[in-house]
Amino acid sequence: MWRRTSFPTTILLLVLLAVLPIQMSSIKTVGAVRNGSVIYGIPAQMEAGEDQATINVCSVIWYYFYLTGRYQYLRNYCGSNTQNYLVYSVANYLETYPYDFATVFYKGHSTYLPPNSAYNPCSHNHTFLYDNDGGGSTMIKNGGFENGNAYWTVGGPGDHMVTNEDHNWGSYSMLLGFKYSANVANGRDYAYQLITVPSGLTTVKLSFWYHLFTYDSVAYDWFAVYVAPVGGDPVLKFKKGGVDYPGLEVYGWEQVVIDISAYVGQSIYIYFEVANMYDTAYKTWCYIDDVSATDNWIWDSEIGLRTVNGIHDFVFLWSCSTANEAQIGGISGTHTWGMAASWLKRTALSLNGYANPDYSGHCFIGFQYYSKPFKEPTGYSSYTYGYFAVLFYYYALIEGQTIKQALDSAATVCFGTSFQYTPLYNGYSYNGYLSKMRVWGDGGMTLP
């Protein structure tokens, strides 16, 4: 709690602050409780206004932690340092050093993957956060075809050309198939690139967008993607075609994500083709765009492998779908799913820790479906959701309020009412999804 400070005391404080070592990590007190706090954010993956808001908010939150003087490990990794390997490493460090209390704030993008899908064959929902490099790729070059077909090898009897007539992002895409060229029986029109998947990576994903047009059925014509290790056999990873013929069927633009982690340390061909098989009837063509091979996702299951001692007690993920209805997640041996279960290493959390705190001393805040942008106005005066986040931490850290109280206090300023009357608590419809902020666990806890 802030107290009135006399002027000489203030001067003393000023001098002390100026000469104190900046890095709080250097403060070691015998017998003291060790607290750690890390702030992550991915401004590079955001629209310009939101990116600045994210940088500002993360900086101020960091500063409030700093002002407490109680966090021996305190880092603001918002920006280029928000990388999956660093998140994993820091989580592991805070758990095993060991610290007594660790807290995480993340502002960015995230997605949950339904069970039994290609890149999530697990029978549970899995969630990943994006890192600051997001969908960018260092493995695939010119994946958006903005530089013509540079780095790509193209061939076959079809169109195989870079075009601006259709695209997902940017201005260009690669057209494969037989839109303009005459059909050739058993003709395969293709584009491929040789990449090396560096050793030491954990989860590597191949992602691309496609827009398929076909008059034929998948038995005759298709769009397919193969991964082929150098000197090895190609492995079919994706195949799409029409249900029937002769009517036009259109698919996309749609994103496909394929796990290629099995090829870590190898050189592989990423091979796209449109095949016109057996006869010359009915045309098929496909645009592809935004091809990337990335290791940019921060997986819940990977976090769960590091949070071995349950040290992370308060985690606030300001991003989408990290707290979907009753999706706290689960723990089975070393395998975890769901951000809450993976970070906090527990599943017995109150589903409404604001109204019904479970007094477990553990709290997770996330969003059901879409999170609110920081720069969106709250609808009260000129406050934004970014201010709400800042003020929440101000009241929690500087005023020493509980999570619930800090939510109320921040809401009082930014909405003119307490938290339970805000859209964050009651929900807001976004793109057909009822979205809201979820507080799981102990809203009655205070941050040390």
Partner 1 sequence: MKGKAFLNGAYIALIFALLLVLSPVQLGFAQYAEPIRREKALSFLENVVQLDLSKYEVKTITEDEHMPPPLPVWYEEVSYMLKTGGGWLDVGCLFVNDSFIGCRIYKHDNVTLHYTVEQPTNLIDKAKGLLKRYGNWIRNPLNREMELLEKMVKVDNVNITSDDMDLRVSVTGILVDFQWILLYGNGLELRVLTISFEDYSLYWFTDFRDLYKVGSITLKVSKEDAIEMALSLAKNFSWKVGETEIKDFVIKKEPIGVELTLWNREPYTFYPHWRITLFLDKVYPGGVTGIQVGIWADTGEIHYIIALSTGGGPPPQDSSTPSPEPEPAPSPQPSPQPSIPMEYSCAIIAITILAVTAASSYLYIKRKRDRNKT
Which residues 350-369 are close enough to bind partner 1 by CB under 8 A?
352, 355-356, 367
**Using the rule CB under 8 A, is 184 a contact of partner 1?**
no
> For residue 45, which of 90, 119, 111, 117 has the smallest C-alpha distance?
111
**Using the rule CB under 8 A, is 198 a contact of partner 1?**
no
The smaller minimum CB distance to partner 1, of residues 47 and 279, is found at 47
Shortest spacing between CB 171 and partner 1, in angstroms: 8
The smaller minimum CB distance to partner 1, of residues 160 and 306, is found at 306
**Using the rule CB under 8 A, is 148 a contact of partner 1?**
no
Helix, strand or coil, per DSSP, at residue 5? coil
Name the residue with tokens 């995230």.
110
Shortest spacing between CB 442 and partner 1, in angstroms: 13
Determine the Cα–Cα distance for residues 269 and 287; give it in Å rounded to an integer. 19
For residues 22 to 61, the per-residue mask of contacts with partner 1, x marking binding by CB under 8 A and - elsewhere, is xx-x------------------xxxxxxxx---xx--xx-
The smaller minimum CB distance to partner 1, of residues 44 and 331, is found at 44
The smaller minimum CB distance to partner 1, of residues 102 and 320, is found at 320
Helix, strand or coil, per DSSP, at residue 16? helix
Show the tokens assigned to 418.
């307490």
Sort 351 into a burial class: Cβ within 10 Å, 0-12 / 13-18 / 19+: middle
Q: Are 130 and 298 in contact (CB under 8 A)?
A: yes
Q: Which of 119, 178, 272, 285: binder of partner 1 (CB under 8 A)?
A: 119
Q: Which of 32, 117, 155, 196: binder of partner 1 (CB under 8 A)?
A: 117
**Using the rule CB under 8 A, is 103 a contact of partner 1?**
no
**Using the rule CB under 8 A, is 244 a contact of partner 1?**
no
The smaller minimum CB distance to partner 1, of residues 185 and 262, is found at 262
**Using the rule CB under 8 A, is 199 a contact of partner 1?**
no
DSSP summary character for residue 440:
E
**Using the rule CB under 8 A, is 321 a contact of partner 1?**
yes
Show the tokens assigned to 227.
């991964």
Q: Which of 90, 191, 424, 447: binder of partner 1 (CB under 8 A)?
A: 90
Shortest spacing between CB 289 and partner 1, in angstroms: 12
Q: Are 266 and 256 in contact (CB under 8 A)?
A: no
Mark residue 324 as left, alpha or beta (left: phi above 0; alpha: psi -120 to 50; beta: remaining): beta
Number of residues that bind partner 1 (CB under 8 A): 126
C-alpha distances (whole Å) from 46 to each of 186, 277, 285, 312, 326 are 44, 43, 33, 27, 28
Determine the Cα–Cα distance for residues 188 and 273; give it in Å rounded to an integer. 6
Shortest spacing between CB 176 and partner 1, in angstroms: 18
Q: Which of 173, 319, 342, 368: binder of partner 1 (CB under 8 A)?
A: 319
Determine the Cα–Cα distance for residues 206 and 292; give it in Å rounded to an integer. 6
The smaller minimum CB distance to partner 1, of residues 183 and 387, is found at 387
The smaller minimum CB distance to partner 1, of residues 98 and 247, is found at 98
Q: Which of 85, 228, 229, 281: binder of partner 1 (CB under 8 A)?
A: 85
**Using the rule CB under 8 A, is 373 a contact of partner 1?**
yes
Q: Which of 231, 243, 334, 348: binder of partner 1 (CB under 8 A)?
A: 334
Shortest spacing between CB 184 and partner 1, in angstroms: 25
**Using the rule CB under 8 A, is 112 a contact of partner 1?**
yes
Determine the Cα–Cα distance for residues 50 and 299; give it in Å rounded to an integer. 24
The smaller minimum CB distance to partner 1, of residues 268 and 390, is found at 390
Q: Give Cβ neighbours of residue 158 (< 8 Å, ≥ 6 apart).
A: 176, 177, 178, 181, 184, 187, 189, 274, 276, 285
Identity (one letter) of the amino acid at 326? A
Shortest spacing between CB 3 and partner 1, in angstroms: 6
Mark residue 329 as left, alpha or beta (left: phi above 0; alpha: psi -120 to 50; beta: remaining): left
Shortest spacing between CB 97 and partner 1, in angstroms: 6
Burial 413-448 (b: 16+ CB within 10 A, else e): bbbeebbeebbbbebeeeeeeebbbbbbbbbbbbbb
Shortest spacing between CB 158 and partner 1, in angstroms: 22
Shortest spacing between CB 150 and partner 1, in angstroms: 18
What stretches of 145-234 adopt beta strand conformation (E)?
Answer: 153-155, 161-163, 173-177, 187-196, 205-214, 221-229
Please, which of residues 395-434 interact with partner 1 by CB under 8 A?
398, 402, 405, 408, 412-413, 416-418, 420-421, 429-432
